Structure 1
Amino acid sequence: MTNEQSEDLSKAETIDWLMEDGRRAESIAALMEAFCRRLIVGGVPLFRANWHIRMLHPQIRGITFYWRTNMDGVEEIEREHGTELRPEYLNSPIGAIVEAGADAMRYRIEQLEPPYAYEILQDLKEQGGTDYVAMPMRFSTGRVNVASWSSDRAGGFTGPQLTLIYDVMPALSTVLETMVLRRLAVNVLDTYVGRDAGARILSGDIRRGTGATLRAVLWYCDLRGFTSLADRLPLADLIGLLNGYFEIMGGAVQAREGEILKFIGDAMLAIFPLPDGEEGEAYVRVKVNDALDAAADAIKAMELRNRELQAWGLPVLKAGIALHVGDVMYGNIGAPDRLDFTVIGPAVNLVSRIQGLSSELMRPVLTSEAFAAQCAERLVSEGLHPVKGLKEPIQVFGLS
């Protein structure tokens, strides 16, 4: 059997592997690692591979997956939006294929002399590379991604070896597209509904009316004076202020493993879930203190941001944060064709009422009595106060 016949047979086996075992890989990185190793077993002298995949994400333009023969696993590098405008991207094989519509390109590095057409060729030359090939990976949506392959063997790739890679690209693109769509779904759900709600949706928990009782620390914050700001600021400035405010509040919550449930105008509702089966109150105290630390961090960050806003001649921001601990109904609620994972119940009503008191009392952080019972040494009573919807006044607490 000739080498060419062997590689043709390897092509069929590789495609079968992609459609059977490859598509069950736990991640894109795991698929890349296994696929590159199979190419080497099939006789392809591969020492480096690079997959550049465009993503649908509010902050990430794409992800580059790097594989080397001398490294464990695959390195992932996220590329932020704006990368596509940078000279180092535009003047690269990836930019030429994705942005300029170039077809597959090959450079026999060992036969080239500087200056090189692309900087990557110089890098590969210094690493001992002899051959470089970049190919478009086209998804069914028309989105173009790029796969590049490098050899360090004298003479580089043979014609049949490149044919092998080229012929399996449609199968590889099909498997990759499925995995990317899954990752995109996770990204979009995490961004717009939160990690836990996104996981529930992907697991099939999507029927309207489903839900469960959940004990949680609740966080509710609101921006003071937002109506007057909205009336007098240009829209772009207003959106910029809101994004900065939510970045501080949401970042503080997420840094302490809380989950943002929703933004309501200039307000934000979040929870720190208390898992089922926890014995004793020790874990509750930990999460209560986490939430209080997050609130303190947010207030400090707001003070720093306000100094910047003053320096820029923009209005400063004041916010109130309310904290409570209690049972809520966490479920899938809404119209038949428009659902929302959210929390409802008396505890949610109470934390929103406490937030209203924070404005009246001019305290940046207020908590309920149930919350304060878990960290009494860090809080001081602000007295009894009536709240809408309750017959009896409630006692609230502020940071000592």
Structure 2
Amino acid sequence: MNASELQKIADWLIDGARSAASPSHMMAETCERLVQAGLPLWRVGVFVRTLHPDIYGRNFIWRPGAEVEVGTVDFNVLDRPEFQASPLAIVFTEGSEVRGRVGDPGSDRFPIVADMRAEGVTDYVALPLVFTDGSIHASSWTTKQPGGFSDVQLNALRSLVRPLARLVEIINLQRTSALLLDTYVGNRAGARILGGQIRRGHTDSMHAAIWLSDLRGFTALSDRLPAETMVDILNGYFDCQVSSIRNHGGEVLKFMGDGLLAVFPIDEYVGDIQQVCGSVLEAARESRASVEAMQYPVGEAVERFRFGVALHVGRILYGNIGGGNRLDFTCIGPAVNLAARLEKIAGKLGRTVVASAGFAGICAGGWADLGEFPIAGFSRAERVYGLVDEAPAA
């Protein structure tokens, strides 16, 4: 084991592993450097818990001559017998080192040791990665060297996990920041905020298709159903829309009670306005079908739901708006205001999907002229269009 090479690797990690372009590259280069320094590694894993509503953690697995495998696990992993019987469960709960060398007393209590013995692995060591906030993450190291890791090699790994933990923590914090921003403000807004657009007044103009929807009868539902039930209903209702919006290139900017505001950016240089509006309409049709199929049992009855969505296209102002040190990343402008007014008209007409003349003109075909309506706050009336295949609700 080359001590000077090991120190170079530690220094490289402390300096941010600058030659590695991504976490996967950092993992691969770290392991390859360790092998070159004399560590007989076979399989290495890094397991990091995350702050995410659906994902418990991420794992990175390295093997010689193969691409680093990157995966995620959900919160159900904590209840799975294979996890509860693994050395990693001990590392996460106790923060202690766990070793499973083939032939050592007690090593067979870990199923993973028996599995790896079949691959020719002779030693398995799980080491905690302790972050500065005290949270415990994990790494695992295996070898096929006869007799397992030597004491010198084990000590080298123990010394290396400290700088590795610092770098992994920084990478994890950066990713957590991006994930949380994506979760709460959307990926486009999150990228801008992380890029430094954080001062009030930092705004951009964007040409976009606008989606504004709400749940019909929300106030009456809220009056007769428990608040906890309404939260569950709203989550299911928003699920009916969000996946379709995102799959068709849109970004959800805001949930407002039962309302949802989304935008579909239009690249004017590419000239994809017809394609974008067609995708928006397809997302609206998918959402309509999903909401119509949605059922929620309440006692002996089953609640059914309807929603309305207004589609418009225009230029919006997109960026930081707020007061003092409390900002919101949102969009404003006459186009957004018109979409909001159209959504109210959709409710009065008993329609699910309505569009402005601008949107219907771009996404031509399949529209019925519903008439011209005065729009509060606007100097002239607006012609409103509904889908031909949709009969107005009573």
* Same fold flag (TM > 0.5): yes
The correspondence of residues 376-395 of structure 1 with structure 2, limited to 5 A, is 376-395=364-383
Q: 1:301 to 1:145 in 2, by over 3 A?
A: same
**What code does the residue aligned with 1:95 have?**
A
Per-residue CA deviations over 1:93-148 (Å, capped at 9, x if unaligned) read: 1111112x051111212x25898211211221121111100000000000100000
Q: 1:340 to 1:266 in 2, by over 3 A?
A: same
Distance 2:297 2:259 in 1: 20
Residues 16 and 167 in structure 2, CA contact (< 8 A), matched pair in contact too: no
Residues 129 and 152 in structure 1, CA contact (< 8 A), matched pair in contact too: yes
**What code does the residue aligned with 1:31 have?**
M
Deviation at 1:387, TM superposition (A): 2.5
Per-residue CA deviations over 1:41-69 (Å, capped at 9, x if unaligned) read: 11111110111100011111111111111
* Partner residue, 1:103: 96
Asked whether 1:204 is paired with 2:196, we answer yes
Instruction: Identify which of 208, 216, 220 aligns with 2:208.
Output: 216
* Partner residue, 1:299: 288
Distance 1:359 1:232 in 2: 21
Residues 371 and 383 in structure 2, CA contact (< 8 A), matched pair in contact too: yes
Instruction: Identify which of 30, 33, 37 aligns with 2:28.
Output: 33
Distance 1:288 1:309 in 2: 35
Asked whether 1:83 is paired with 2:77, we answer yes
The correspondence of residues 43-122 of structure 1 with structure 2, limited to 5 A, is 43-71=38-66, 73-99=67-93, 101-109=94-102, 111=103, 116-122=108-114
What CA RMSD, in Å, does the superposition of the two structures yield over aligned residues? 1.8
Deviation at 1:382, TM superposition (A): 1.4
Deviation at 1:246, TM superposition (A): 0.7
Per-residue CA deviations over 1:285-319 (Å, capped at 9, x if unaligned) read: 0000000000001011112223x658983321210
Distance 1:142 1:134 in 2: 18
Per-residue CA deviations over 1:76-102 (Å, capped at 9, x if unaligned) read: 221112322333222211111112x05
Distance 1:324 1:352 in 2: 10
The correspondence of residues 357-372 of structure 1 with structure 2, limited to 5 A, is 357-372=345-360
Distance 2:304 2:267 in 1: 38
Q: Report the TM-score when normalising by structure 2.
A: 0.94
Distance 1:115 1:52 in 2: 21
Q: Report the TM-score when normalising by structure 1.
A: 0.93
* Partner residue, 2:309: 321
Per-residue CA deviations over 1:173-230 (Å, capped at 9, x if unaligned) read: 1111111000000000000011011100111111111111111000000011111111
Asked whether 1:189 is paired with 2:178, we answer no
* Partner residue, 1:254: 246
**What code does the residue aligned with 2:83 have?**
Y
Structure 1 range deviating more: 46-55 or 381-390 = 381-390
The correspondence of residues 340-359 of structure 1 with structure 2, limited to 5 A, is 340-359=328-347
Per-residue CA deviations over 1:316-360 (Å, capped at 9, x if unaligned) read: 121001100001111211012111111111100000111111111
Structure 1 range deviating more: 130-139 or 162-171 = 162-171
* Partner residue, 2:135: 143
Residues 90 and 98 in structure 2, CA contact (< 8 A), matched pair in contact too: no
Asked whether 1:12 is paired with 2:4, we answer no
Residues 100 and 107 in structure 2, CA contact (< 8 A), matched pair in contact too: no
Q: 1:381 to 1:24 in 2, by over 3 A?
A: farther
The correspondence of residues 238-277 of structure 1 with structure 2, limited to 5 A, is 238-277=230-269
Distance 1:338 1:88 in 2: 46
How many equivalent residue pairs?
388
* Partner residue, 1:289: 278
Structure 1 portions without partners, runs of 5+: none
Deviation at 1:20, TM superposition (A): 2.7
Residues 368 and 387 in structure 2, CA contact (< 8 A), matched pair in contact too: yes
Distance 2:135 2:24 in 1: 20
Distance 1:201 1:302 in 2: 33
**What code does the residue aligned with 1:103 have?**
S
Residues 45 and 156 in structure 1, CA contact (< 8 A), matched pair in contact too: no
> What percentage of aligned pairs have identical amino acids?
37
* Partner residue, 1:174: 166
**What code does the residue aligned with 2:348 have?**
E
* Partner residue, 2:152: 160
Residues 366 and 399 in structure 1, CA contact (< 8 A), matched pair in contact too: yes
Structure 1 range deviating more: 262-271 or 309-318 = 309-318
Per-residue CA deviations over 1:358-397 (Å, capped at 9, x if unaligned) read: 1111111000000001122132211212222224321111
Residues 23 and 175 in structure 1, CA contact (< 8 A), matched pair in contact too: no
What secondary structure does 1:191 align onto? helix
Structure 1 range deviating more: 258-267 or 149-158 = 149-158
Q: 1:67 to 1:79 in 2, by over 3 A?
A: same
**What code does the residue aligned with 1:20 have?**
D
**What code does the residue aligned with 1:17 have?**
W
Instruction: Identify which of 330, 333, 338 aligns with 2:326.
Output: 338
Q: 1:211 to 1:102 in 2, by over 3 A?
A: closer
**What code does the residue aligned with 1:376 have?**
A
Q: 1:349 to 1:272 in 2, by over 3 A?
A: same
